[in-house]
Structure 1
Amino acid sequence: MARILLIHGASHGAWCWRDTLPALAALGHEVRAIDLPSHGDDPTPVNEVTLEEYGRAILDALDGPTVLVGHSMGGYAITQAAEMDPTHIAGLVYLCAYDPWPGLGLSQMRMEAEEQPLLPAIRMAEDRRSFTFDPDMAPNLFYHDCPPEAVAFALDHICPQSAAASNTPIQLTENSRALPRSYIVCTKDRAIPPAFQRLMASRFDAARVTDLPSGHSPFFSMPDALARAIDTLVKA
């Protein structure tokens, strides 16, 4: 049994893990999900959010050795938390997530991919301090293989995303790099190209890399298979 904390990606919240939480609990894990600042039920104004605040929110949620699972943008959030204080972090699992590279904020790192499927869907606020995703394009990018009810649920809950949190590089040290690090590649992802995921995952121990035949949201499309993949990795 492991203690696991699930961290959502851009414009999402703890709500996206609704089907994965019971699936992991059924495998014997102690599992929780939180809203990062300005997401879900958290009242923080989106224009005030920083990547450091994401990291602090994660650290504040830890009460013992915990494996952090970060989805998509959540890869930056869990890495930031580990860099701030790895004391209670037992491992990092990147779920079709950005694994930060030196000197690159998430927005800059995304541009390292040969394909840019997200770029046409990004809608910047007038003050350019936050952005959203085109609701007509989001289903095909994020939820193309998810049940219709889950797609409707997600579209009702997605929220603006802090631009500052997406533009901040992380000063990478052994605080995060020395932890057990795993990667789950989603091979049918239409948001983060699988080829780019594999490039990021190539920097991980091959024994800690696994695939899911899923789009960008396996927490909706195949929560049981996702739970089994996480279970295998936290036991590795």
Structure 2
Amino acid sequence: MSTYLLVHGAWHSGQCWDRVVPLLASAGHRVLAPSLTGHGDKAHLLGPEVGLDTHTDDIVDLITGQDLTDVILVGHSYAGLVVSAAANRIPDRIAGLVYLDAMVPVDGESAVDVMPVTQLLIDQAAAAGTGWRIPPLPELPPPGGLFGITDPADIAWVRSMLSDQSVRCLQQPVRLDNPAADTIPRTHIHCTVGRPDNFHRRPVPPVQPNGTPAQVRELAAGHDCMVTAPAALAELLLKVG
């Protein structure tokens, strides 16, 4: 049995994994899908002080508080930074990192460094007077949709769980200075449908930090594949565990 810890991306909550959790659990695994501070059941805690360090603490505290080991840590989108930072702090508890259509930073980078288009979101929030909080992205024409979701019922469901994101989450740099974290196997899952032209993905180096060949998988789904392709995503995740 593996323990899968699924970490949602910006604006979302742990509820976004609801269609994936039972699929992993039915295969005999333990599955946790918490909401980060400022989102879901913790939405009331959102404030300008909430940042990447806050969300890293959320995950580290959950793992250590429940004494979890051999964790498959899955980070979606912005949460690529969160899982990287968490693995840096407690590498001995992490069996694998999965970057699900995610930002993959190096030491000292912020979300803005990894994906510079996010600076536009910060600038737009400032211009609109919302300051430290960035509202969820608007729906785009198909095939972009809402985070790659085009079905009206799914859009309504996901929109019900979205909340503003603190600017600090995108500006705070990640600390990746623990050599032990480099030994953790990595898997990259890239969603291939409906990606906006201005969202550029960094190429994955051919060799992982641990010296083994890169593991890159493609999923024919939009960015929120946990909503639109849960079975296909669960199948890929089970191969990691």
CA contact (8 A) 2:50 2:168 kept: yes
Q: Confirm or deny that 1:165 pairs with 2:172.
A: no
> What's the RMSD between the two structures over aligned residues?
2.7
The residue type equivalent to 1:224 in the other structure is A
TM-score for both structures, normalised by structure 2: 0.84
Q: Which runs of 5+ in 2 are unaligned?
A: none
The 3 A distance-change label for structure 1 pair 118 and 230 is farther
Identity %: 31
The 3 A distance-change label for structure 1 pair 220 and 127 is closer
Name the stretch that deviates more: 133-142 or 172-181: 133-142
What is the distance in 2 between the residues matched to 1:135 and 1:23? 30
Which residue in 2 is equivalent to 1:130?
A: 133
Which residue in 2 is equivalent to 1:196?
A: 201
Q: Confirm or deny that 1:80 pairs with 2:81.
A: no
The one-character-per-residue Cα deviations of 1:48-98 (angstroms, maximum 9, x if unpaired) are 212111111101211221111000001011111112222322221100000
Q: Which runs of 4+ in 1 moved over 4 A?
A: 116-123, 191-195
CA contact (8 A) 2:75 2:102 kept: yes
What is the distance in 1 between the residues matched to 2:18 and 2:49? 27
Q: Which runs of 5+ in 1 are unaligned?
A: none
The 3 A distance-change label for structure 1 pair 34 and 120 is closer
Q: Given the alignment, which residue of 217, 227, 237 partners 1:210?
A: 217
TM-score for both structures, normalised by structure 1: 0.85
What is the distance in 1 between the residues matched to 2:79 and 2:6? 9
Which residue in 2 is equivalent to 1:29?
A: 29
What is the distance in 1 between the residues matched to 2:195 and 2:112? 17
Report the alpha carbon displacement of residue 145 of structure 1 after superposing the two structures with TM: 4.3
CA contact (8 A) 2:104 2:114 kept: no
Which residue in 1 is equivalent to 2:160?
A: 156
SS of the equivalent of 2:109 reads coil
What is the distance in 1 between the residues matched to 2:224 and 2:62? 24
What is the distance in 1 between the residues matched to 2:119 and 2:139? 13
CA contact (8 A) 1:201 1:209 kept: no
